[in-house]
Amino acid sequence: MTSAPHSSFKSAKSIEEIYSHLPDAPSQKTLERVDYEARHWSSDIPGPLKPGTEEHKRATAQMFRETFNPYKPSVIPWPELDPVTLHRITSLPIWDIAVQTEGKARLRMAAYAAMIDDPDMKDALSRNAWEENRHKEVLSKLVAAYNIQMAPEPEYKEPKDTEWAYLVTGFSECVDSFFAFGLFALAERSGLFPLELIETFEPVMQEECRHILLFANWLAWHRAVMPFWKRPWFELRVIAVWAFLAYERMGLARSMDDNGNEQTQDNNFTVSGAKDVTDIDIKVPELMQLCLDEDARRFSGYDPRLRRPTTTPAIARTIIKGAKFWDKMQSRFRKHKAAA
Ligand SMILES: [Fe+2]
Ligand SMILES: [Fe+2]
């Protein structure tokens, strides 16, 4: 992807300032350096980084600022595609939902950032909102380059319940990014997509990893500094967010089943999209393992003292264990039947 660093980005005061300094034609060396810096980061603050402490909070915001990748959507060179690949890409059932998700995420994160008093967290979340808008720009450029037919975008409305909207967006990103990491690796291995296109989206994928790293550490900080009497209500809301996400995804999975193989715009693509990105037959536990491996790989370069998202990887591990148990039961049943 066309991207470039400069040390001034690391200390830039405002988001507008960063944006007005994105480079047009970075050198290869610069590209490699910024890519490395976006994936490897450790705080120079010594000792443990305990959520609720000034050190943990400062390190979280510092991580987000210093791993920024200053690529510019308007200079991305979109590769020319042969008709089969073009069709494969334009018919993926994700483009409307992807553009709208980024638009919603930008607004929700910016709205929540505006509510926060703490300057470090405010800065980190505002930058995250800005990066979501850049994702939207990248997607808009791709849609235009390949002439993908899009539904009209809805009006993006400020959320009424800002904290709820931020929690939904944050936890959704944790789920979607986890599965997207695996699907992205699968797409790369399949050879069905041109390498230049994979490379173009690679920094976006890594950026989502940074986003969920920020969310996990914001969440740990938020819990730690919250007055104790507010905590039960907050935890109830977290449970309600997970219930909402499960309902949303199960509902969509059901509608996919009813439609057979018909491709529709699919909010659940990150969970059900393997068939669209590869012609290799991959079983669910194998896909879960790939997602776990990719998740671990993408997080491996960041300070291990920062918190990682844990719920979606735990769900994937449970699915793998459940599948192994099911296989064992089936083979026992078969043996028992053969012996009878
Ligand atoms: Fe995004
Ligand atoms: Fe994101």
Q: How far is the CA of 205 from the centre of ligand 2 (A)?
A: 9
CA 149–ligand 2 middle distance (angstroms) = 24
- Ligand 1 mean position, distance from CA 208 (Å): 6
Interatomic CA distance for residues 33 and 30, integer angstroms? 5
State pLDDT tens for residues 46-93. 999 999 999 999 999 999 999 999 888 888 889 999 998 899 888 888
pLDDT one-digit tens code per residue, 176-190? 999 999 989 988 888
CA of 309 to the centre of ligand 2 (A): 14
Nearest by Cα to 181 from 309, 3, 322: 309
Q: Distance from the CA of 269 to the center of ligand 1, in angstroms?
A: 15
- Give Cα 174 to chain centroid, integer Å: 6
Q: How far is the CA of 305 from the centre of ligand 2 (A)?
A: 21
How much of the chain, in percent, has pLDDT values that exceed 90?
Answer: 58
Per-residue confidence of the chain (340 residues) as pLDDT tens digits?
Answer: 433 333 334 444 566 776 677 777 777 888 888 899 999 999 999 999 999 999 999 999 999 999 999 888 888 889 999 998 899 888 888 888 899 999 999 999 999 999 999 999 999 999 999 999 999 999 999 999 999 988 888 888 889 999 999 999 999 999 999 999 998 998 888 888 888 889 888 999 999 999 999 999 999 999 999 999 999 999 999 999 999 999 888 765 554 444 434 434 555 555 566 667 666 777 889 999 999 999 999 999 999 999 999 999 999 999 999 999 998 898 888 888 888 7
Interval between CA 284 and ligand 2 midpoint (Å): 25
Residue 1 lies in a domain: no
265 CA distance to ligand 2 middle (Å): 20
- Is 17 within a domain? yes
| Enclosing domain of residue 39 | 7-339
| Residue 129 CA, ligand 1 centroid: distance in Å | 9
Question: Which ligand is the nearest neighbour of the Cα of 136?
Answer: 1
Measured CA to CA, the distance from residue 247 to residue 243 in angstroms comes to: 6
- Residue 175 Cα to ligand 2 midpoint, Å, equals 11
Closest listed ligand to the CA of 204 = 1
Tell me the DSSP string of 75-130.
Answer: G--PPP--HHHHHHHHT-TTHHHHHHHHHHHHHHHHHHHHH---HHHHHHHHHHHH
User: 240 C-alpha vs ligand 1 centroid, how far in Å?
Assistant: 23
| Residue 96 covered by a domain | yes
Is residue 223 domain-resident? yes
- Phi, psi torsion values for 288, nearest 5 degrees: -60, -40
| C-alpha 37 – ligand 1 centre gap (Å) | 19
| Residue 2 forms part of a structural domain | no
Task: Please name which ligand lies nearest the alpha carbon of 210.
Answer: 2
Residue appearing with tokens 């300057």: 119
* CA of residue 325 to ligand 1 center, whole Å: 36
Dist. CA 228 → ligand 2 center (Å): 29
User: How many angstroms separate the alpha carbon of residue 86 from the centre of ligand 2?
Assistant: 26
If you search the block for the tokens 């991580």, which residue do you land on? 63
- Could you tell me if residue 94 is inside a domain? yes
Per the structure, the count of domains in the chain is 1
| Distance of CA 120 from the midpoint of ligand 2 (Å) | 18
- Burial class for 318, CB neighbours closer than 10 Å (0-12, 13-18, 19+): exposed
- What is the C-alpha to C-alpha distance for residues 8 and 34, in angstroms, rounded to an integer? 12
Tell me the CA–centroid distance for residue 270 and ligand 1, in Å. 13
pTM of the predicted structure, to 2 decimals: 0.87
Question: Residue 289 and residue 134: Cα distance in Å, rounded?
Answer: 30
Where residue 59 sits, what CATH number does that domain have? 1.10.620
